[in-house]
């Protein structure tokens, strides 16, 4: 149901599709790439994940807001998704962890939302036509006027958004699941490993999992150069997730190429970081028709499957990777795209999905342990 005294709102896609519903959250007009997420939970993590920068997110789960919002589930200081598309807004939240309703939080954070639209029909449309730009508006403008505006917006392809969401200054990250809600591994080893994490749009849950596996983490900006990274004397370097087109992140690709020349230095990339590693190794990326955004994507090879959390609109081209140096270790079993790879000669690997699982299943958490094992081997 819409909030009380809800204003009418429009969602207009660049192909001329118009959906009319009710405004919730902040009132106004916002443009972005319209994508969909199939997860049944985790809307707060999605909205605060920097990887969703520049996007209007449609949730396929039919009711949004039923657990409210709390400060512990933030993936960044501020939300990064530009807008929210929902079938129905919960009339009141019900969770012991709730601090405030989703609608109130979105108003405070300036996130524009539309509810009361047929999200199932919208998702079918995006699956057939591909992710496309759109606009959510509740300021009284006509769909005709909005269509002209959305058609002038740039495509996600070719956009470097990592520079817009990265940290401006290096910082240390030491907390790890301090609220006690995450019951996964917390290392008890006295040995720690210094990891430099390159922030292309990093999630707090990733930093927490690195710390939980025994890492002392220094986060550096996306534009950091090799001297800046190596000045911290890392045991390993982590390349983070992030938004936009990986091929446009030229400084990150250049850094990854230089890091690969440090032959014994362990490197680990997740999502955008995985793609940047692949590009640095001579591969190519391409834009997926409608991307992978959800919590139940099966990934694996022969005999072993991980159910994974995913959020990406681009993928590595398997045929572009040099087989003499790169092994594809996991495929997305829905469409056979590259889900993970490793370097055959160096301690380097990347995973397209999110092993920190925030939200999502914990099948892939072992990849953090794998990274730590590579750093331990280097230290011996």
* Other CB atoms within 10 Å distance of the CB of residue 170: 17
Q: How far is CA 232 from the centre of its chain?
A: 26
Residue 6's pLDDT is what? 75
Q: What is the largest CA-CA distance in the chain?
A: 66
Give the separation between CA 175 and CA 194, rounded to whole angstroms. 14
Residues with a catalytic annotation lie at 271, 354, 356
Distances (CA, A) of 354 to 49, 119, 148, 364: 12, 25, 37, 8
Residue 179's pLDDT is what? 46
Instruction: Give the least confident one: 88-97, 141-150, 295-304.
Output: 295-304
Where does the pLDDT of residue 132 fall: very low under 50, low under 70, confident under 90, or very high at 90 and above?
very high
Residue 178's pLDDT is what? 46
Q: Answer for the pair 270, 239: CB distance below 8 angstroms, yes or no.
A: yes
- Reference 360, options 2, 37, 109; nearest CA is 37
35's enclosing H/E stretch is strand 29-37
Residue 37 has pLDDT above 70, yes or no: yes
Long-range contacts (CB closer than 8 Å, 24 or more residues apart) made by 224-231: 224/170, 224/198, 224/255, 225/251, 225/255, 226/255, 226/258, 226/259, 228/170, 229/196, 229/198, 229/255, 229/259, 230/262
More confident residue, 349 or 176: 349
The crossing angle, in degrees rounded to 10, of helices 272-280 and 250-260 is 60
* Other CB atoms within 10 Å distance of the CB of residue 345: 10
- Reference 261, options 341, 322, 317, 343; nearest CA is 343
| 183-194 pLDDT tens trace | 666 665 567 899
Mean pLDDT of 267-288: 98
47's enclosing H/E stretch is helix 43-48
| 46-86 pLDDT tens trace | 999 999 999 999 999 999 999 999 999 999 999 999 999 99
Q: Answer for the pair 366, 353: CB distance below 8 angstroms, yes or no.
A: no
Tokens of 212: 């939980």
Residue 301's pLDDT is what? 82
Residue 107 has pLDDT above 50, yes or no: yes
User: Which strands sit side by side in the sheet containing 285-300, from one edge to the other?
Assistant: 171-173, 215-221, 193-199, 236-239, 267-270, 348-351, 338-343, 326-332, 285-300, 305-316
What residues contact 249, with CB distance under 8 A and at least 6 apart? Answer: 160, 162, 163, 200, 222, 242, 272, 276
| 320-379 pLDDT tens trace | 999 999 999 999 999 999 999 999 999 999 999 999 999 999 999 999 999 999 999 998
The sign of the CA dihedral 294, 295, 299, 303 is negative
Q: Answer for the pair 346, 237: CB distance below 8 angstroms, yes or no.
A: no
Query: Structural domains in the chain?
Result: 8-150 (3.50.30.20), 162-379 (3.40.50.880)
DSSP sequence for 129-184: H-SEEEEEE-SS--HHHHHHHHTTSPPSTT---HHHHS-SS-EEE---STTS---S
**Across all residues in the chain, what is the average pLDDT?**
94
Return phi, psi of residue 209, to 5°.
-70, -35
Q: Within 13 Å of residue 151, how many CA atoms lie on the same side as its CB?
A: 10
β-strand pairing of 285-300 with 305-316: antiparallel
Give the separation between CA 132 and CA 55, rounded to whole angstroms. 10
Mean pLDDT of 213-234: 97
Where does the pLDDT of residue 39 fall: very low under 50, low under 70, confident under 90, or very high at 90 and above?
very high
| 227-249 pLDDT tens trace | 999 999 999 999 999 999 999 99
Residue 93 has pLDDT above 50, yes or no: yes
Calculate the CA dihedral of residues 256, 258, 259, 265 and round it to 10 degrees: 150
In terms of residues, how long is the chain? 380
* Other CB atoms within 10 Å distance of the CB of residue 376: 16
């Amino acid at each position: 149901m819409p909030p009380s005294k809800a204003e009418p709102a429009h969602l207009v896609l660049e192909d001329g599709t118009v959906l009319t519903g009710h405004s919730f959250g902040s009132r106004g007009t916002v443009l972005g790439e319209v994508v969909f997420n199939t997860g049944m939970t985790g809307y707060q993590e999605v909205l605060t994940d920097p990887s969703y920068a520049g996007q209007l997110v449609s949730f396929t789960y039919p009711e949004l807001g039923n657990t409210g919002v709390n400060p512990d589930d933030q993936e960044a200081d501020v939300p990064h998704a530009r807008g929210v598309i929902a079938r129905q807004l919960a009339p009141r939240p019900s969770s012991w962890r709730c601090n405030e309703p989703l609608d109130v939080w979105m108003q405070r954070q300036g996130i524009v939302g539309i509810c009361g639209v047929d999200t199932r029909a919208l998702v079918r449309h995006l699956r057939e036509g591909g992710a496309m730009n759109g606009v959510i508006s509740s300021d009284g403008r006509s769909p005709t006027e909005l269509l002209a505006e959305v058609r002038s917006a740039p495509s996600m392809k070719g956009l470097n958004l990592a520079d817009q969401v990265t940290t401006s200054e290096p910082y240390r990250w030491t907390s790890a699941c301090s609220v006690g809600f995450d019951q996964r591994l917390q290392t008890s080893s006295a040995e720690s490993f210094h990891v430099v994490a390159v922030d292309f749009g990093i999630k707090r849950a990733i930093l927490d999992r690195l710390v939980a596996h025994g890492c002392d983490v220094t986060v550096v900006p996306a534009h950091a150069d090799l001297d800046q990274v190596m000045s911290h004397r890392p045991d390993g370097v982590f390349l983070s997730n992030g938004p936009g087109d990986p091929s446009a992140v030229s400084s990150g690709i250049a850094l990854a190429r230089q890091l690969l020349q440090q032959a014994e230095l362990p490197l680990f990339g997740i999502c955008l970081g995985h793609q940047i590693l692949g590009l640095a190794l001579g591969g190519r990326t391409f834009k997926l028709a409608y991307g992978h955004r959800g919590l139940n994507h099966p990934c694996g090879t022969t005999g072993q499957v991980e159910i994974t959390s995913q959020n990406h609109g681009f993928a590595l081209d398997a045929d572009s990777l040099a087989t003499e140096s790169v092994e594809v270790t996991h495929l997305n079993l829905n469409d056979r795209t590259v889900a993970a790879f490793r370097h055959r000669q160096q301690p380097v690997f990347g995973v397209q999905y999110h092993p920190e699982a925030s939200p999502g299943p914990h099948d892939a958490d072992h990849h953090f342990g794998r990274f730590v094992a590579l750093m331990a081997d280097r230290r011996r």
